[in-house]
Structure 1
């Protein structure tokens, strides 16, 4: 495999995944990779082979542990703090820690203090209210996962010292009051997911977020304003996701400047009106490939700014939009459309006349049938 030098890291990673799938190293568990996420399953024999090869570099700390090789670099923790401390002194090269349980904050703090060269730290489903400020000392950290912590209220501003951080996962952190004020300093972020009680995001600007490829804004029920007063930011953003942002009334004006945007997902945003977005539709020059919208009660007709992606849009999914009454007559001008799925849009009674002449359309799903 010889990746093109111009390819993004995410594209190269997907190439490797597809290569491993092609030789049955693992296979897709679900056919649909919603929001660009994959789920895999692995044959037991392959699983056992991986364990036999990697046992000196990977280990799980659980109640059955008796011993562990000093060469272990990747830890999976599903045991108590006492069990972790039992092995921590003999481990000097740990690079990854994945918690499988709900650790006490003292356990997390101990690991941050003990292991200074972490590249990955993931603590999903935890229940502490404050992340230790010592997280700012992990200068090599690339990946920090705090998803689905429903108790955490604030992040220390020291997290903004993680200048090498590429992935920060905060989705499902429903009680998070606001993002750290100096977040704009995290210049190498490529994947960011956010849940918060705040009404405004990035009011201090994100003009340094030009490495960001993927942004998820999920479970932000009070969010009213996103990405204010910015027109030259997020220049490399490729995927934008909004889920359960009940107070968001329109797409941010910055949408017209996201020239690299390929995938847009908008789900369960009850007040959003897609007819905005700014500018003449023909002048937007977007390059969307995927538009996925579901449960948008205010959607009555597709927005004209979608015409800006007439040459690139490949997949269009519309679901549970109860007030969508008609598809626009210009829909057949989407020259690259391969998949059109319309699910439970009960007010829709017909399709545009020219849809039968769309040469690129490979899959048409309408449930229930018109």
Structure 2
């Protein structure tokens, strides 16, 4: 029983299930499994496990043996972390888990000089910490530094010597500037800089972090061109379905410089104030395949977005090709749009033929939205359509429509269109006082 349990625990460790999960995508053990794991590790001299023990002080010094490999003191009430400097160095210690010690305010500067082989340091949700000891800068073998939820943390010492660091999580902290030496972390794969008071990512840093697979900036403004060079990004900063995904937030100088990696499944764009059209993605140097594989599109807080694909802009005709490339949005399953006040219409009618896999439309708080499917901008074509009883279009997989707080919305689409939605099961409408009917939809 012991050997089998120990082997199972080892497999959990190898799969990183004992480390803190990312932004709510957690793996939760059954209580019995958790209790077994705690029991097994507590019996091994190589593990010091005192999680959930309501500790207010560190374990006694005789428990800090020099052959320790992993220490977990998570979810206690420890306020100070100090060790007797006469203790031998913990040359076997690879993992130190201190997360959710919300009272932890002080970490002695000399502590980490005893832990020269440390690879994983988790201080997540130690809310009371304001500064980290400078000795962290000497942890040259550290691969993960996790500080998410340290809501009062204002300063992180130099990271320049942490050359093998792969994961750096500074989300939901109070740091006011990018940590010194960040550009030296060339092996970094995960970077969360969703810090309340960071407003700018200095130029020249992101291109050096070319191995990044996850990047979250949000409040920190970065150059779009620099983000576009991070071709290995594969998971959106907003979470959600796994797969190859890109999240873009708070960028300046958007223009035509942004490039989207090919074969993505999820695209999230938010707080890009100068973005006017997603059409700009379509025309960038053969990146059309990015929109051909896209399954999930999220657009939010884009104050100047006026069209998704095509529209007459400032009196000039859009350069949207006719006909639209067949593959564009052909894999799209969900589109979710929040707080895009200048957006008047979602889709040109000719695009609907590409949306045969669309399952869900959600639109919230777009104060200027007039209709979901726009009328043709071609007067001759419009007259031709009007002379017919109806133009038959189909969204065969559309299952759900949610329309909320759209004060100018008047119709789903123009009356001359009949849109057959054989799979439609749910329509939710709230705060749309001018919407009188959605009769062109025929489930």
Question: TM-score of the superposition, structure 1-length normalised?
Answer: 0.70
1:362 shift after superposition: 4.8
Residue by residue, what CA displacement relative to the aligned partner does 1:38-87 show, whole Å, maximum 9, x if unpaired?
14544332322232233233512723856748445132253546675279
* Residue matched to 1:6: none
Contact in 2 for aligned 1:59/1:68 (Cα 8 Å):
no
* Residue matched to 1:209: 209
Contact in 2 for aligned 1:60/1:75 (Cα 8 Å):
yes
1:226 aligns with 2:238: no
1:63 aligns with 2:61: no
Residue by residue, what CA displacement relative to the aligned partner does 1:329-358 show, whole Å, maximum 9, x if unpaired?
225524554443333446545433999623
Distance 1:309 1:209 in 2: 31
* Residue matched to 1:85: 83
Gaps of 5+ in 2: 1-11, 240-247, 311-319, 375-390, 405-427, 430-434, 436-443
SS in 2 for 1:318: strand
Distance 2:309 2:269 in 1: 13
* Residue matched to 2:267: 264
Structure number, greater radius of gyration: 2
Change in Cα spacing, 1:191 to 1:60, as seen in structure 2 (3 Å) is same
SS in 1 for 2:258: helix
Distance 1:270 1:206 in 2: 18
Change in Cα spacing, 1:72 to 1:230, as seen in structure 2 (3 Å) is closer
Distance 1:135 1:252 in 2: 40
Gaps of 5+ in 1: 1-12, 21-32
1:326 aligns with 2:345: yes
Change in Cα spacing, 1:185 to 1:254, as seen in structure 2 (3 Å) is farther
* Residue matched to 2:275: 273
1:317 aligns with 2:336: yes
CA RMSD of the aligned region, Å?
4.3
Residue by residue, what CA displacement relative to the aligned partner does 1:270-307 show, whole Å, maximum 9, x if unpaired?
83534265662694221544322334343343256998
* Residue matched to 2:165: 165
Change in Cα spacing, 1:203 to 1:136, as seen in structure 2 (3 Å) is same
Count of aligned pairs between the two proteins: 332
1:256 shift after superposition: 1.3
* Residue matched to 2:299: 293
1:143 shift after superposition: 1.0
1:212 shift after superposition: 0.8
Match runs of 1:178-189 below 5 Å: 178-180=178-180, 182-189=181-188
SS in 1 for 2:36: helix
Contact in 1 for aligned 2:167/2:188 (Cα 8 Å):
yes
Distance 2:140 2:343 in 1: 50
Change in Cα spacing, 1:84 to 1:92, as seen in structure 2 (3 Å) is farther
Distance 2:396 2:284 in 1: 23
Question: TM-score of the superposition, structure 2-length normalised?
Answer: 0.60
Distance 1:42 1:355 in 2: 52
